[in-house]
Structure 1
Amino acid sequence: MRLTIRQRLLLSNVVTLAFVSLIGVVGYIAVQVLDGAIGAISTNSAAMKDQLQADMMHDALRADVLAARLAADKNDPAEVKGVREDLAEHMALFRKGIKDMEAADIDAEVRAAIATVRPDVERYLKNTEEMVELSLTNKDAAQAKFGGFMDSFRALEKSMSALSDLIEKNSESAKQVGDSAVANSRYQIIGFSLLAVLVALVIGQLITRSIMQPLNEAVGFAERVSKGDLSGSMTLDAADISETGLLKRALADMNTSLHGIVSQVRGGTDAIALASSEIASGNMDLSSRTESQASSLEETASSMEELTSAVKQNSHNAGQANELASSAAKVAGEGGAVMTRVVETMGAINASSQKIVDIIGVIEGIAFQTNILALNAAVEAARAGEQGRGFAVVASEVRSLAHRSDSAAKEIKQLIDASVAQVEAGGVLVGQAGGTMDQIVNGISRVSTIVGEIATASREQELGIEQINQAIGSIDSTTQQNAALVEQAAAAAGALQAQADQLAEAVKVFRLAR
């Protein structure tokens, strides 16, 4: 077969689509004709409606003439006004009806008939307007022209009736065209549909036969292969590019491949049985060694747990030592600060002592000057003789007081000097104590830093040992799983040996070509 199944099915679909398209075209043409007919009927209906309105206004205008004659007899102004308003309204509606018919998309014959009627309409409207005015103003003249008015009424009535008949005729003609198109389309669609069904059946039968015949041959060949008969062959056509041809070639290739595979399987089953026996023996040895390794790993894991516990305790102790060293460093820092303030205070005391020494010096100067003044006063009193005796006594007392002040000032100065010396010595000692305290603070800080590093290292060591412990546990679990897997592999090897024996028995079923 030169065509594939896809191409055959595509050809069938193309033929079917061609008939469907043809039926669609026939239906479309019928719809277009019917749409034109419906449009013509709709247009004629609208024209008929306008014609009926014009015809009603035709009668209404005659009624307006009669109403004007009656209103003139009653001589009622209100009624006269109403007659004039009705006349204007009816004339406008009459003209609108004729104008709407002309504006519609009507047949040329109807348009010509409307053009013929229009002069009669205008004449009638003019006569009606004159008759109404004469009826309201001059009854005798109106009576004289009433006969001519009725003649124009009857002439227009005849023209309007002919126009109505023509519109109805066109509507009926459009309806007949639509009915004819529908009937013709119905017969055409039925005929093409029957032809399409017949062609589809023929093409379907041919395609089915071209597909089923090679498929039945392929199915029979596949059934023989499924029963173990690999000695058969299949007729092949190199020019057949269809899917069934490809299937037959694939089945033939499969038969050839199965023939080679079965031959190889028969030759390899003994080797598989021997190899599976050796695998089972090796798995048993591996299982024994794996169990021994698992026991060793359990002991290692126990030792690592003890080591982990000791490292945790060391880490905990290092943490406490770090906290104590930090506290000691804080206290030493506070002591250093206190010693610094003591040194500053001793310096202030030393400065105050120096100021006191200066003041004592001033006092000694004052005492010395006082003594000189007293001495001068005594000399002057001695020169004065009897008159200066009392003054000499006072000068002597002042001189005595000056000596005592000088002695007291010297003693105070000696005490202050001793105090300043002691304060300076104390300041030196306090400075030395402050330096020592700074060294202590620095030492404690270094100790705290070292203890913190030890604590950090202990924590890292603890984490590392825990990871090692977890890894050993994982290795232990893996080793135990490996032991179980080895046992399973040993069992699988035994099962493989049994299956190899079964496979050898199974391939004996196939019949190979000699």
Structure 2
Amino acid sequence: MKIATRLSALGIFCFISVSVLGTGAWFALDRAHQTSDAAMQRGADMATATDAARIAQVAFKTQIQEWKNILLRGGDPEQLEKYTKAFKDSGVATRANLARTDKLLTKLGIPTPLVAGAARITEELEKNYLTALATFDGTNPESYKQVDAMVKGQDHSASDAIDAIAKFTETQMVAVFEKSTKDLSAIRQAAALQLALLGIVLLVAGSAFMVWLTRSITGPLNEAVGIANTVASGDLTSNIRPGGSDEIGILLNALKAMHDSLADIVGRVRAGTDAISQASIEIAHGNQDLSSRTEEQASSLEETASSMEQLTSTVRQNGDNASQASKLAAAASAVALRGGDTVSQVIHTMGAINDSSRKIVDIIGVIDGIAFQTNILALNAAVEAARAGEQGRGFAVVAAEVRNLAQRSAAAAKEIKTLIGDSVLQVEAGSKLVDAAGTTMEEVVASVQRVDAIITEISVATGEQNAGIHEISGAIAQLDAVTQQNAALVEEAAAAAESMEHQASSLAHAVSVFKIHADSAAAAPAPRAPLRKAGQRQASRRQIDATRARIGDEASAKPGKPAPATSDWETF
């Protein structure tokens, strides 16, 4: 899985987490609103029932007062009719409010037989009063006393029944409000517990996901750094496992290709330097033998010329090999540049991840602002409820709970913002590591370019060796005509051979710092012992023939095929 895909999955997980928390909070708030609305409706119905009971209580007292007015002012027929009508209307109002109270209590699920009993008592009381009123004589001053004596004390039972209803409704109203408060508190606690559990689950899952993501990125990067350090120390014997298909896997594959190609190049260079050194030693030995056996110059001149031609071919082939090595170094530089571009893309991707994390922080800030505004609205609602007095008590409780929820939402948003901030710091740390990897790749590119320069110098040195061999061939051609110059020519050939040996030794020393597998190095020919004894013409001829044959074999065995691409090693 590519790093961009993994980081996209992280963004999606964060979005889903925030969505789940928001949805849970919305459902909890909606449930609280529903419970609050139901509690408010139940409280309103209970308050209406209490008001109806109190109105019935007042209407009954008014009816009794109208009865007294009848007895006191009933001497006037008009007044008698007026107060009698008021007496009956008060009775109707009393029973109507009792019926209303009974209906509301039944709706609330708390019916009571007190209402029906009070209605029956007031109705019988009114009948008794009207029956007594039928005997009333307004012209007789003693008549009102007689009528009053007929119904005296009957209103006490009705008044007590209505008072009992009023007390019952008041008690039930207090119970309803207490139950509503307990229900809201229970819902709030359940919602808080659910949101806390959900937050913990999402936090644990997010932490596990972040640990996995961090290890999946930093692990391969540490492996790549270890490989680079190993190559920097000159050790080319390590075994690099192929990487995956993500960006870091591509980087590891490139490092493996660089490592393998560099090991192959070092092995070939070592084999070449050994061959050159051996050839220069043989040339020096031959020149020493030639200087000690001047009597054999004429007979061995032709054989020496043939050997020099074969040696010229070998040096030319070494020049071709150096040219091919230069091309391989250029190809390795191109591969390293592509690796640097890949690391640059990784840096750009890490920057995009950092920007996305900062956008998430901004979104959390918006959520925090919404929670703050909700808190202000809840505070305003509490103020309005306080102004409403007793009737706004329930709404004040709801407003306080909404305010508490808003404050908890703000605290949760702040915690999420802190976590996202920590994630941003971790992503920035990852960006710094990738920047370090990019710097390392730039150093690798520079090292490969320096390798190219060294191989170019090797090509120039090989050309100089070729020129020296041409001079030796010219000297041998002149040897047949100018025997007197034979000693000087032999000294020049010896000097050229010694220079070639020194150059081969320098090149061998340059690559000796590398450690490679035994099967990576080409088999170098064993050095021959120098011929020191003069006068042994047959031994000298056999040595010259063997040298010529060996040089020819080496020239045919080393076609100089190019090695695959790679990277920088000269600075190590």
Specify the TM-score bucket, using the shorter chain as the normaliser.
0.3 to 0.5
Normalising to structure 2: TM-score of the pair? 0.38
- In terms of fraction of residues, the more helix-rich structure is 1
Normalising to structure 1: TM-score of the pair? 0.42
Structure number with bigger Rg? 1
